A = this chain, B = another copy of it.
Amino acid sequence: MPSPQPFAGVLVPALTPFTPAGEPDAGRFVAFCRWLLDEGADGLAIFGTTSEANSMSAAERMTLLDRLIASGIPAAKLMPGTGACSITEAATLIRHAVAHGCGGVLMLPPFYYKGMTEQGIYDFISAVIDRVGSAALRMYLYHIPPQTMIPFGVELVGRLIKAYPDTIVGLKDSSGDWANTKALLDAYPGFGIFPGSEVFLLDGLRNGGVGCITASGNVNVPGIRKVYENWKTPQADQLQADITLVRMTIQKYPMVPALKRIVAHFHGDPDWAAVRPPMERLSDAQSASLLADLAKIGYSLGERRREAAE
């Protein structure tokens, strides 16, 4: 039997703000994470793909985590991404997260080399867990083949659960392929499976999923929470259609720059739009078009927040 789940509900891979000089902006990051929790996020999957985590050094990531913890954000709500191409760097990041008492970590496969065997990926994860050597570690596998090209296939996931039943407690499926999510849900009941997009939230919950970890959570926690709270009610399908529409509207644009642009606009803080290369911020034309598209569907971050608070 898998371990009890440390996380469920709506988890947000929090965006990472950068200063005009391109440095991680710890002050804005802390404020933004606190705001996401106030909005109703059940947890923060900081340092994910949406967070531009791999555009930061290990030291930069650990400093930001230190600052979050120092600010009083509960470690149990945090699931930092600890992916790295090397066993050594991954183990360093995980040890740091475990020492802070983080609820779990989100673990990429080693993503530089392509065409590696399942045994090679298994050995990598196994070596990392052995090197960390902590009974407190709760690891979520991060399946995101569009970026890594290295999958956590259904069979490999089963081998890892069997070998590390108290450590490997779940998976984020960012394949964008519902058939894959469904196959995992069917194969491993009780395993903590989070679709990587709220588009699959309702389908996931109806099939044994525990929530979602989704980029657009950065700008739509209240809407996504409504689906999570009401998934057994007759309104569920309409609520799901509402959040799917928001997601689809945003993802017509490059996702991370678009989300940062939305935050910049609705938080009244233009510096928020900054990204680190190789990402590029939206052009003025793209920004105007995105905001117009969102207005057309009646989206407003502030209004949604007020509505949720009513």
8 A-B residue pairs with Cβ-Cβ distance under 8 Å, sorted by A, are A55-B87, A57-B88, A57-B92, A58-B89, A86-B276, A110-B278, A114-B147, A120-B277
Q: Which of A95-103, A121-129, A168-176, A194-202 contacts B (4 or more CB under 8 A)?
A: A121-129
The interface centre, meaning the residue of A49, A149, A276 with most chain B CB atoms within 10 A of its CB, is A276
The interface centre, meaning the residue of A85, A119, A124, A127 with most chain B CB atoms within 10 A of its CB, is A85
A109 at the interface (CB under 8 A from B): yes
Question: Min CB distance, A4 to chain B, in Å?
Answer: 29
Tell me the interface secondary structure of chain A in the complex: loop
A117 at the interface (CB under 8 A from B): yes
For A127, give its contact among B110, B123, B277, B280 (CB under 8 Å): B277
Q: Which A residues lie at the B interface, using CB under 8 A? A: 22, 49, 54-60, 84-89, 92, 109-114, 116-117, 119-121, 123-124, 126-127, 146-147, 149-150, 276-280
Residues of B near A110 (CB, < 8 A) are 54-55, 277-278
Given contacts A113-B279, A116-B278, contact A57 B57 (CB under 8 A): no
Q: Is B280 touching A123 in the complex (CB atoms < 8 A)?
A: yes
What is the bound-complex CA distance between A150 and B146, given in angstroms? 13
Q: Is B86 touching A121 in the complex (CB atoms < 8 A)?
A: no
What is the bound-complex CA distance between A54 and B231, given in angstroms? 43
Residues of B near A59 (CB, < 8 A) are 88
